[in-house]
């Protein structure tokens, strides 16, 4: 098994993703995201929050205009663009860190990449839009390929696996091959915590995250404030900070290169201490 190539260039910025855990701040420009829906729907508020996350130590900002919470309905592409493009344009002119666009639509990705994003975070791994790989390759952009069983509307309706770890790895392996065939050099993988997974599935993936090293790509993990934490602690979304911290620490201990989080300041501290324990 080879170690993954971890020196990734995003626009003008190069990170060694193996040097420490990198922090991706979540910026939902939506009225209905599960953790912060409506808080940053106004573009001025969204930009200010993005700037704040950068000040708190985010290495990336991931900007999304369509909720993928369990049970969510799709949003029209023109509405998604209307929400995110002003924010991407302003943050790309004011920040020196890479911007990611959280979308599965190729036309939205194309516009976002032209506006200043350098990463596409596609929860469908190109299944949502077969043109996506060509768009990303054409811009020389990076991609996050995520595993999801079903769709956001249906994914939490009795998810089932014979072997969740092997099925997730197999799915991502095939998607990586597809991305390479399209000419995409920089691929990051995400096991999709909370996307078509029960509590047991999520815990198994976090426990065995090191097995994803087989994929020879940096691993991103997004446990922030998710319902599997509530299943353990029986707490509402605004009270899941400590549970998120525990999941982030576990992900870092097991090899995550990037953690995608709402609470940047706090999770950067968690990741820094965990990195020190792991790497000395």
- Please give the Cα distance from 147 to 189 (Å, whole number): 8
pLDDT digits (tens, 9 = 90+) for 95-104: 999 999 999 9
Domain ranges of the chain: 14-279
Look at the alpha carbons of 192, 194, 198, 203 in this order and tell me if their dihedral is positive or negative. Answer: positive
Q: Which residue is it, tokens 């620490």? A: 249
Query: Distance between CA atoms of 239 and 278, rounded to whole angstroms?
Result: 28
Residue 70's pLDDT band (cuts 50, 70, 90): low
Q: What is the mean pLDDT of residues 26-39?
A: 67
Residues 6+ apart with CB under 8 A from 147: 125, 168, 171, 172, 190, 191, 192, 195, 196
The residue with tokens 């097995």 is 211
Q: What is the pLDDT of residue 5?
A: 75
Q: What H or E segment, with its residue span, contains residue 246? A: helix 241-253
Q: Residue 263 pLDDT > 90, yes or no?
A: yes
* Digit-coded pLDDT (tens) for 39-67: 656 889 899 999 999 999 999 999 999 87
Angle 168-174-178 from CA coordinates, rounded to 5°: 140
Catalytic: 226?
Answer: yes
List 69, 226, 240, 268, catalytic entry: 226
Q: Give the model's confidence band at 118: pLDDT under 50 very low, under 70 low, under 90 confident, else very high.
A: very high
Q: With bands split at pLDDT 50, 70 and 90, how would you rate the model's confidence at 34?
A: very low
Per-residue pLDDT, averaged over 216-230, amounts to 96
pLDDT at 269 over 80: yes
| Maximum Cα–Cα distance across the chain | 48
CB 58 within 8 A of CB 27: no
Average pLDDT of every residue of the chain: 92
Confidence tier at 131 by pLDDT (50, 70, 90): very high
In this predicted model, what pLDDT tens digit does every residue of 153-186 receive, in sequence order? 665 667 789 999 999 999 999 999 999 999 999 9
**Residue 167: CA atoms inside 13 Å, Cβ hemisphere, count?**
14
Task: Tell me how long the chain is.
Answer: 280
How would CATH label the architecture of 14-279? Alpha-Beta Barrel (3.20)
Of the residues 69, 90, 197, 260, only one is catalytic, namely 260
pLDDT for 207: 97
Q: Mean pLDDT over residues 108-124, rounded?
A: 97
Average pLDDT over residues 239-262: 97
Residues with Cβ within 8 Å of residue 161, at least 6 apart in sequence: 149, 167, 201
- Looking at per-residue pLDDT, the higher value among 33 and 256 belongs to 256
Q: Is 260 a catalytic residue?
A: yes
């Amino acid at each position: 098994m080879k170690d993954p190539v971890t020196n990734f260039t995003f626009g003008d910025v190069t990170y060694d993703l193996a040097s420490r855990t990198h922090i991706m701040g979540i910026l939902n420009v939506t009225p209905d995201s599960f953790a912060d829906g409506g808080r940053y729907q106004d573009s001025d508020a969204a930009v200010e929050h993005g700037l704040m996350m950068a000040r708190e130590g985010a290495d990336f900002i991931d900007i999304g205009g369509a909720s993928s919470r369990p049970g969510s309905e799709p949003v029209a592409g023109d509405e998604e663009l209307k929400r995110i493009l002003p924010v991407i344009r302003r943050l790309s002119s004011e920040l020196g860190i890479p911007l990611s666009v959280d979308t599965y639509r190729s036309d939205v990705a194309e516009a976002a990449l032209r506006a200043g994003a350098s990463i596409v975070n596609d929860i469908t791994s190109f299944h949502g839009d077969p043109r996506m790989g060509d768009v990303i390759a054409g811009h020389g952009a990076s991609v996050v390929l995520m595993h999801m069983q079903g769709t956001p509307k249906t994914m939490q309706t009795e998810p089932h696996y014979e072997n969740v770890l092997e099925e997730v790895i197999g799915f991502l392996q095939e998607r990586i091959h597809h991305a390479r065939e399209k000419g995409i050099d920089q691929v990051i993988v995400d096991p999709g915590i909370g996307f078509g997974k029960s509590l047991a599935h999520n815990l198994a993936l976090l426990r065995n995250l090191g097995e994803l090293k087989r994929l020879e790509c940096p691993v991103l993990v997004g446990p922030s404030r998710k319902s599997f934490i509530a299943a353990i602690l029986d707490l509402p979304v605004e009270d899941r900070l400590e549970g998120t911290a525990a999941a982030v620490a576990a992900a870092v201990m097991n090899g995550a290169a990037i953690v995608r989080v709402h609470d940047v300041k706090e999770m950067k501290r968690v990741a820094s201490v965990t990195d020190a324990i792991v790497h000395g």
